[in-house]
Structure 1
């Protein structure tokens, strides 16, 4: 069925456009039709007052910059060309455009370009220069979140059409020479279950996270996000254990039952629920409330709970939160305010984690790629 988007999702896309992202880039990054993104932006513009002279001037400046970018990128196949071919193109066009601007637009290093224009190094050195540029681009594309093995996977996909390969050992050496390394995720150690007596609630999952298809087992949780102006804010998510995709998402200044319900509704909006799926949560009051469980009953979803003080019962969510904190939250000392945090988290979950971040457990596929492969296999069966 057609994908439906809520107001919060649309507004986040519009905000990203206002911050400088192009409509085409947003459509590609978030898997939305270009015409849909354009319609949202046009609809927003119709409801707002006219632009000020400064805004018009800024828009004209951006339009001129975009026109120049289009002129630079007009050569067919250029963005996918060998780095050396890109450098040759920059040299040919250097009397029309600034070298610095062309390097930025084409995603190459200005220093590497000038080194390329000097006497050629040995074949091995030339290969290293090319590989370093590719590694830096991959490293930047995935926002410094990929280490040796994931860069190895992405790089060799890129080199495959060229009948070339690069070993993890060589990538490790080149990354050391470039002085870059991924944000590491500390392994968390789960404590044993608490001996404190609490109300008994069913643990249907019992740490069995295996699945044979989508929408069989979900897991949900909330985590704290600190901001300067608004204090603690709260991210609530739901993951499908089959694909590790985040299917429910909501961010709020309050941690309450409404936050859990809003996340649940965002998950069921675009999922076809059959049978009696399980959703696993902790024993937080947001999940044990009558309203939350009443809604689960209406949706024919069975509720499974972790034991008190035993995070291993919800290990996939603990792992997701660890990755999110290390890759997205901790690199920033503290978010300025709720709106800033919301924009960064939205990008991480929807554009990066679901669509770009490969998982070794999924055969080095992204959650979205794995879901598409699963659905394709089911249709062919």
Structure 2
């Protein structure tokens, strides 16, 4: 007996309790014999039907207890945890019962297409490994690297920096637990404040911090042009990568591992000062990066 017939028989039974004689009329109307009707009405409920009726009662109860904010998966979890039914349950069965009861989860978290969202801020590699510049603040490179401190280098933080391609002078840096758009924005805001009205090309990789909406809005406010490394191509940002490499090999690795974060910050500050103001390079005519940059300014 299908669901439609069952509901029709139940309706006829209820109506005929107070209106004798209507049974024949109604059965003829739906095209069912009295024998089939009485056989159906008097039949015993099957085990499956009993389970289904019980399951519907509990599904509806849990749904209402949670103000309709739960779906089939959550309801199944609650039913299994309560362990009151005594028969096997499945997600498919709970979904079917919810459909029959017209119960729909009212809370649906909107799926964010992160790839599509990030692609909005992915730029071409405008710099294209052309690392020759003629003046300060023409091209800025930025990136972050991991540095460690504590016993056995137990603790790890991110060191982000902005490198002026002219003379390889590190304009600013920030140490944070992880690389975030907020940290990069703080660093850039400080550098823009120090450098004044400048509009460099800013080259980055495609990390999540650099494709963030907030980060790119900040750069747009300062009217910079954007360039990004191609995927899996560190050479597109090789001067920045080389700076980090020298900083670690020639400074961090030659000093004892800092025991505390404060010691690490002091060591990083001293190292950046060394590379900006003391380290001379034949690539810039024997000047330090600071001297070379100041000479141009």
Both proteins in one fold, TM over 0.5: yes
Measure the CA separation in 1 of the matches of 2:191 and 2:216.
Answer: 15
Partner in structure 1 of residue 289 of structure 2: 367
Offset, 1:293: 0.2
Offset, 1:295: 0.0
Partner in structure 2 of residue 220 of structure 1: 142
Q: Provide the alpha-carbon RMSD of the alignment.
A: 1.7
Offset, 1:333: 5.8
Measure the CA separation in 1 of the matches of 2:282 and 2:211.
Answer: 34
Q: Is it true that 1:266 corresponds to 2:190 in the alignment?
A: yes
Q: Is it true that 1:279 corresponds to 2:223 in the alignment?
A: no
Q: Which one of 110, 125, 131 corresponds to residue 203 of structure 1?
A: 125
After superposition, the C-alpha distances for 1:136-173 in whole angstroms (9 at most, x for unaligned) are xxxxxxxxxxxxxxxxxxxxxxxxxxxxxxxxxxxxxx
Q: Which runs of 5+ in 1 are unaligned?
A: 1-197, 376-381
Partner in structure 2 of residue 346 of structure 1: 269
Whether contact under 8 Å (1:233, 1:338) holds in the other structure is no
Offset, 1:366: 0.4
Q: Secondary structure at the match of 2:254?
A: coil
Partner in structure 2 of residue 358 of structure 1: 280
Whether contact under 8 Å (1:248, 1:265) holds in the other structure is no
Q: Secondary structure at the match of 1:330?
A: helix
Measure the CA separation in 2 of the matches of 1:241 and 1:210.
Answer: 8
Q: How many residue pairs align between the two structures?
A: 176
Q: Is it true that 1:308 corresponds to 2:231 in the alignment?
A: yes
Offset, 1:334: 3.3
Partner in structure 1 of residue 82 of structure 2: none
Q: Is it true that 1:238 corresponds to 2:181 in the alignment?
A: no
Whether contact under 8 Å (1:247, 1:266) holds in the other structure is no
**Judging changes above 3 Å, is the alpha-carbon distance between structure 1 residues 346 and 216 closer, same or farther for their aligned structure 2 residues?**
same
After superposition, the C-alpha distances for 1:180-211 in whole angstroms (9 at most, x for unaligned) are xxxxxxxxxxxxxxxxxx95531110000111
TM-score (norm 2): 0.56
Whether contact under 8 Å (1:249, 1:266) holds in the other structure is no
Q: Which one of 271, 279, 293 corresponds to residue 216 of structure 2?
A: 293
Measure the CA separation in 2 of the matches of 1:273 and 1:210.
Answer: 22
Partner in structure 2 of residue 253 of structure 1: 177
Q: Secondary structure at the match of 1:210?
A: coil
Whether contact under 8 Å (1:235, 1:249) holds in the other structure is yes
After superposition, the C-alpha distances for 1:204-258 in whole angstroms (9 at most, x for unaligned) are 1000011111111100010001122771111110011112111121112232112
Measure the CA separation in 1 of the matches of 2:181 and 2:255.
Answer: 29
Measure the CA separation in 2 of the matches of 1:254 and 1:238.
Answer: 16
After superposition, the C-alpha distances for 1:297-334 in whole angstroms (9 at most, x for unaligned) are 00111121001111110011011001011012222463
Larger Rg: 2
Partner in structure 1 of residue 40 of structure 2: none
Whether contact under 8 Å (1:357, 1:366) holds in the other structure is yes
Offset, 1:336: 1.4
Whether contact under 8 Å (2:204, 2:229) holds in the other structure is yes
Q: Which runs of 5+ in 2 are unaligned?
A: 1-117
Measure the CA separation in 1 of the matches of 2:191 and 2:258.
Answer: 26
